[in-house]
Chain A
Amino acid sequence: MTSLPAPAKKKLGLVIDLDICVGCHACAVACKAWNDGGDFGPLADDDPYGAEPHGVWFNRVHSYEVQPPAPGPRLDLLHLEDTAAPAPQMVHFPRSCLHCETPDCVTVCPTGASYKRAEDGIVLVDQDKCIGCQLCAWACPYGAREIALPHPKTTTSDTDRKDAKRGTMQKCTLCVDRIYNETLDARDRQPACVLACPTHARMFGDLGDPDSDVSKVVAERGGFALMPEFGYQPVNRYLPPRPRRDGSSTAATPPAPATETLDANQLPPLLRWLDKALSR
């Protein structure tokens, strides 16, 4: 019902390195802080000090426990307990709008509120046109859109923020109000989540330009799109965790000492050290 623009050359998006994301939620909170008081806010909260605190976030971090498969040939299930399975891993997964190239969240919009910018591919919601029908949220398989319903479950503890906007769909804007903003230092013209990330696991750039830093790191690290099988052609990319060099990996075993090789059984250490020639 809403048309997509012709494919743009410029595809702004995020690259998120799952190898170094520690799951600290800095990106999610910095996003909420920047946008709550900005042009695309507020990001309303329900019952913020009560029994069911929840609100609108453009970015959330999920933590998953992952059991890497055991190396070598697969053993039969009966003996699974006996296999030396690698240590379980934790993977932290930040989730926000992927600014897809062909997103249904735009095309299902009955009012034209949900749209994709022709000039840089950013997917936005025009709050003045949104009627809160939530079709777009149903269309998005990534859960990237959030809405503060018109009537919060609890209002008593939210009296300080009665002006909170409600009832229209909200989502990641890729900080469109930051990235071109000439009132900010050039260094700060990046999404709030990228600036915040303490491990520098988040990068921002033009994924349509093969020579951009983000495109290069995606090529180098095997960056992948999230669930491409849906066909929406996400722009954002995730970098996979690097192989962990623990005891299950032969690469982790250090070579034999390059200097001397000792036979500890032949000469007790204290005797060896008696004649140790040292200089202070």
Chain B
Amino acid sequence: MPHAQLELNRPTGDEVKTTTCYMCACRCGIRVHLKHGQVRYIDGNPAHPINRGVICAKGASGMMQHYSPARLSKPLLRVGERGERKFREIEWDETLALATKWLSDIRARNPDELAFFTGRDQSQALTGWWAQQFGTINYAAHGGFCSVNMAAAGMYTFGGSFWEFGEPDWDRTKYLMLWGVAEDHDSNPIKLGLGKLKARGAKIVAINPVRTGYASIADEWVPVNPGTDGLLAGALIHELLLGDRVDFEYLVRYSNAHHLVIRAPGAADDGLIARDADGKPLCAVRSASNRHSGAAQSAEPGIHDADHGKPDSGSLLRNVRNDEQKSSDFALTDATQPDIAPLIAGEYTLPDGRKAVPAFQLVAERFLADDYAPDHVAETCGVDAATIRRLAAELAHVAFDAAIELPIAWTDTHGRHHDSMRGRPVSMHAMRGIAAHANGFHTCRTIHLLQILLGAIDTPGSYRYHPPYPKPAPPGNKPAKSRRPDGSLTGNPLGYPQSPDDLLVDAEGKPRRIDHAFSWEFPLAAHGLLQAVIRNAVDANPTHIDTLFLFMANMGWNSAMDTTATRKLLCAKDAGGRYKIPHIIYADAYDSETVAFADLVLPDTTYLERYDCISLLDRPISGCDHAADAIRQPVVAPDRDVRPFQDVLLDLGARLKLPNMADPDGQPVYKSYADYMVRHERAPGVGMLSGWRGADGTQAGKGAPNPDQLQRYIEHGCFFETKVPEAGAYYRMANRDYLAWAQAMGFVANTEPVTLQLYCEVLQRFRLAAQGHGAVQPPEAERARVERYFDPVPLWYSEIELPAPLAGRAARSAERAAPVGGDPRENPPHLPSGHLPPQAGEGNDSYPLSAITQRPMFMYHAWGSQNRWLRQIAARNVLYVHPHTLAAHKLASGDWAWLTSPRGRLRVEVRAHAATAPGTVWTWNAIGKRRGAWKLGARAPEFVDGFLLNHLIGERARDARYGNGDPVTGQAAWFDLKVRLEHDPEPRVPGHRFEPVDA
């Protein structure tokens, strides 16, 4: 452009369309600027509640994902062997007919022979419902690999969770602790929030073995050893308890701290909450006759009611205090009543003469023990005791000495009016570094206990819920176990078990699901266990799987542990030469590593070419002060023979004549996903979208379907938000103003308070079963494990995936093992498909380093490497190592070295990084790619030099009967990887390779 005529007012495009980003899981609002029918550029939607106009590197590069050469363009039918990438393009009619044939055979025979697993799916409200209609219990998304420890620990503790289920009160918090937060979770909301905190001068503490990204702008970096966060959090609790720096009033009002726990070892109800005849939990209060002068007089009415209203259960009882010589009169009463003066320590006698103690005392006894003393944990955590004490003092100082009070009037669930809201401006956020360990569930629960003890859940300045949360802790939905006459499941396949009765086990206590979720192996596997599907399907354990139906789950690469073995399992054949998993259907928009293993490939559209639904029935995009949902709309038409996966799923459902998808005449009930988004009702008036409901579009939350609903969304930037009433801003677990609104919106069934579970009675029910009580008990071999890990009070344990006798052999076999690459048949399987032999022989000393990964902020999972802009930022990864660790291994930055685990060894380039804990090495995850995938060139750095750490992660736990995961939830423990680093005698030859252990 000749600058004499520099045109400064040229329109930036022909048209602007809003939609929702799909470049990661944040689901920001975007504006897609179109010119000549092409995407000109994408920027953030300033009105959108998630990102307020900002956009990250991924989002801004979305057009290059949309125009990626790796897009699939036509349905594919495999013609070669699995893994060869030999396909024939076929028409959709043939594709759908074939899929319908396979699936209808299954449904007629046994619906559970379909394993339907989705990956980074953002339409689980649809896919879960579809699985329910099909009738298979074998459905899940990728949470078992990603974050179910966070979700389960949160839901069972406070009816919410970290990640998108809540967030720090960015405008008021004065102190933020980031626990194990990698750069990728989450994206813009946390960046916007951190910007606010820095502007206000709030202190940020990053607890993480690695300092990058968010941790780099933190005031303080605490380089904790991987997997010891729970111990560190426990030590903080220890210090707070020692100093009485606990919000006792908050505890008795909002948690079960004062609920009495039965102490009757050997009894069937040992460790359960003592309850009255109405099932109300009991607590001890001082009796009216012997009240200490300091006790609240207001305690009387509650006791009185219990005394006279329910003589059988609430009568005054004599209490024996075990720790003092004197005895006094105490009363037991309904612990949920208002205005009582509950006791939180001491031992009390129940009406039947047995003893009980307040839950708080059990928690205190656990964390006051020397096990959690700063001096005791310092070495294990890698954090000195003085620092732990100082951090505890800082937390307490901010929570109690810098408390805030907001002049917001509200009404609690007992109908009591309050003029203001007290806030403990300490907040926490946690993610992968907590979740991906075998102790992640209890670690996350420990962090939640720390929050609760500080009075820092949903108070001004603390961590806050996003609507539709809080829900009861745990939420009431349980995994469906049985089928209706029409073949559909009685409910969603996923949910929150509350007792052994809710497990999916057979009469012998063996798993019913293919991933062993909700079995005695992994009872609280709320998200299912994606990572277990392939091995178990190959082993037909517990049942034969006919068709593995995967959507966006890159199981052939970075969504698997022990990737090399997993890829071989996908190709495993029986003695007759038939694939052990007879059919694999894979749906994706891109030519990922997993496409190579599919028999039938369903090409999806890009996110700019389809309708989608970001539903409140799914993972919410709400903020603290509003409930929100959103849609995607097609902003450009596909130029390939591809179809939106959601449309295909509904089409398949109709062809299969599934309940609610085909009418009695066999005609499709929904003509498209867009149609489903508008017309489908989960309950009367409750649909996928909460905005503009009702025939006239004036209702929010609940209301009849509105045929113009999508048009309304499009007119409003493709999102809908409803403000939470101001009186419902905080204390939502017990805030009538909030709960009444939430009930009207259809989020909660009633306005009952959500009791924070300092003591998790659900866990004790499983433990009791393990101890021989109840109708549903674990098999003998499982009892000890369940008893140990189903502790109702959080505990820390060091349980690492590991160690094997094979390391020495790894080195020897390396010489004859072929490098990974090329046709999988060139590499005969080194591993049996059955269980690995018990691993013994070498101890932790052989693998002294922890190896972890994180995604860089500019890439998300596997998808980024096909993006021509993003791969210019990083097209390969290296192994980051502390300089002292490098020196100890006689390595220099830039050298090539062998990284060895019991599964094999990877040749990697090492790079010095002082902001890494000396005992930890790390790399960017999923930048290393498989040759042949993602339409990358033959010498792309992603597979020449880049590497995938997953190859080194064992799929089995130390006890090889179990998958490598958390014993409570089954969450894949891929951060428990232990390795050793060795100098490569031939360091001058660049390029990575993986040499698996020869079994």
Chain A residues with CB under 8 Å of chain B are 19-26, 28-30, 32-34, 36-40, 45, 47-51, 53-55, 57, 63, 65, 67, 87-92, 115, 124, 126-129, 154, 156-157, 160, 176-178, 180-184, 187-188, 192, 195-201, 241-242, 244-247, 252-255, 257-260, 262, 264, 269-280
Is residue B370 within 8 Å, beta carbon to beta carbon, of the partner chain?
A: no
Binds A, one of B42-50, B270-278, B617-625, B972-980: B42-50
Instruction: Count B-side interface residues using an 8 Å CB cutoff.
Output: 119
Task: Report if A192-B2 is in contact (Cβ < 8 Å); known contacts: A23-B857, A30-B55, A87-B223.
Answer: no
Given A48-B868, A277-B341, A279-B299, A253:B390 Cβ within 8 A: yes
Within 8 A of A (CB), among B809-852: none
B170 to chain A, nearest CB (A): 12
Chain B positions within 8 Å of A50 at CB level: 936-940
Residue picked from B298, B386, B394, B872, most chain A C-beta under 10 Å? B872
Report A-chain residues with C-beta under 8 Å of the C-beta of B365: 270
Question: B198 contacts A280, CB within 8 Å?
Answer: no
Cβ–Cβ < 8 Å partners of A89 in chain B: 211, 216, 221, 915
A279 touches B212 (CB 8 A): no
Please provide the chain B residues from 520 to 578 with a CB less than 8 Å away from any CB of chain A in the complex: none
> A200-B195, A280-B340 in contact; A195/B8 too (CB < 8 A)?
no
Chain A at the B interface: mostly helix, strand, loop or mixed? Answer: loop
In the complex, which of the residues B43, B58, B213 contacts A195, with contact meaning CB atoms closer than 8 Å?
A: B43
**Complex CA–CA separation, A30 to B41 (angstroms):** 9
**What residues of B have a CB within 8 angstroms of the CB of A115 in the complex?**
3
Q: What's the least CB distance linking B932 to chain A, in Å?
A: 13
CB distance from B770 to the nearest CB of A (A): 28
Q: Is the CB of A198 within 8 A of B212?
A: no
In the complex, what residues of B have CB within 8 A of residue A29's CB? Answer: 57-58, 60-61, 858, 869-870, 873
Partner of A257, one of B396, B868, B939: B396
Closest beta carbon of chain A to B359's beta carbon, Å: 13
Contacting pair B35 A37 (CB below 8 A): yes
Contacts of B46 in A (CB 8 A): 187-188
How far, in angstroms, from A192 to B195 measured CA to CA in the complex?
A: 18
Are A279 and B296 neighbours in the complex by a CB distance under 8 Å? yes
Asked if A51 contacts B944 (CB within 8 A), the reply is yes
Tell whether, in the assembled complex, residue B872 and residue A55 are in contact, meaning their CB atoms are under 8 Å apart: yes
- Contact present for B253 and A280 (CB under 8 Å): yes
B63 A20 Cβ-Cβ under 8 A: no
Would you call A181 and B10 a contact (CB within 8 A)? yes
Query: Within 8 Å of chain A (Cβ to Cβ): is B723?
Result: no
Say whether B223 contacts A21, CB under 8 Å. Answer: no
Chain A residues positioned under 8 Å from B394 (CB to CB): 252, 254
Give A196 to B57 CA distance when docked, in angstroms: 9
Contact with A along B135-176 (1 / 0, CB 8 A): 000000000000000000000000000000000000000000
The yes or no answer to B344 lying at the interface (CB within 8 A) is: yes
- Residue B54 CB within 8 A of the other chain: yes
> Does B252 lie within 8 Å of A26, measured CB to CB?
no
Contacts of B398 in A (CB 8 A): 254
Give the distance in Å from the alpha carbon of A126 to the alpha carbon of B212 in the complex: 39
Please indicate the chain A residues that have their CB under 8 angstroms from the CB of B243 in the complex. Answer: 257, 262, 264
Contacts of B6 in A (CB 8 A): 124, 176
B3 cross-chain contacts in A, Cβ below 8 A: 115, 124, 126, 128-129
Which of B105-113, B184-192, B710-718 is found at the contact surface with chain A? B184-192
Q: Indicate whether B996 reaches chain A with its CB closer than 8 angstroms.
A: no
* Interface pair B53/A24, CB less than 8 Å apart: no
Interface contacts (Cβ under 8 Å), in number, total: 324
Give the residue of B54, B341, B870, B913 whose beta carbon is less than 8 angstroms from that of A279: B341
In the complex, the answer to whether B339 meets A26 with C-beta atoms within 8 Å is no
Q: Which residues of chain A have C-beta atoms less than 8 A from B938's C-beta?
A: 50-51
Contact call B67/A26, Cβ cutoff below 8 A:
no
Bound Cα distance from A137 to B43, whole angstroms: 30
B641 interfacial by beta-carbon distance below 8 Å? no
6 chain-A/chain-B pairs, Cβ below 8 angstroms: A20-B195, A39-B10, A157-B937, A247-B386, A254-B397, A272-B244
Q: What CA separation (Å) do A90 and B212 show in the bound complex? A: 6
Taking CB atoms, residues of chain B closer than 8 Å to A65 are: 913-915
In the assembly, what is the distance between CA of A255 and CA of B220, in Å?
18
Contact between B220 and A198 (Cβ–Cβ < 8 Å)? no
CA of A101 to CA of B952, assembled, Å: 55
Does B343 interact with chain A (Cβ within 8 Å)? Answer: yes
B211 to chain A, nearest CB (A): 6
Contact of B198 among A30, A184, A199 (CB under 8 A): A199
Given contacts A49-B868, A199-B191, is CB(A128)–CB(B2) below 8 Å?
yes
* Docked CA distance A22–B74 (Å): 40
New contact pairs (11) apart from A201-B195, A252-B219, CB-CB < 8 Å: A24-B57, A24-B183, A28-B57, A32-B869, A45-B872, A89-B216, A128-B3, A188-B46, A198-B195, A255-B397, A280-B340
**A244 to B63 alpha-carbon distance, docked (Å):** 38
Smallest distance from the beta carbon of B386 to chain A beta carbons, Å? 8
Partner of A181, one of B9, B295, B400: B9
A20 B217 Cβ-Cβ under 8 A: yes
With contact pairs A259-B400, A274-B345 given, residues A51 and B54 touching in the complex (Cβ less than 8 Å): no
A157, A245, A277: the one contacting B294 at CB < 8 Å is: A277
Nearest-CB residue, chain B, relative to A158: B868
Q: How far is the CA of A199 from the CA of B55 in the complex (A)?
A: 10
A115 to chain B, nearest CB (A): 7
- B785: CB under 8 A from chain A? no
B916 shortest CB reach to chain A, Å? 9
- The reply to whether A19 and B198 form a contact with Cβ atoms under 8 Å apart is yes
Residues of B with C-beta under 8 A to A182: 9
Q: Is the CB of A53 within 8 A of B868?
A: yes
CA distance A34 to B869 in the complex (A): 13
A147 shortest CB reach to chain B, Å: 16
Q: Measured between alpha carbons, how far is A153 from B12 in the docked complex, in Å? A: 32
Known A-B contacts A22-B214, A279-B249; A181 and B8 likewise in contact (beta carbons under 8 Å): yes
Residues of B within 8 A of A34 (CB): 41, 43
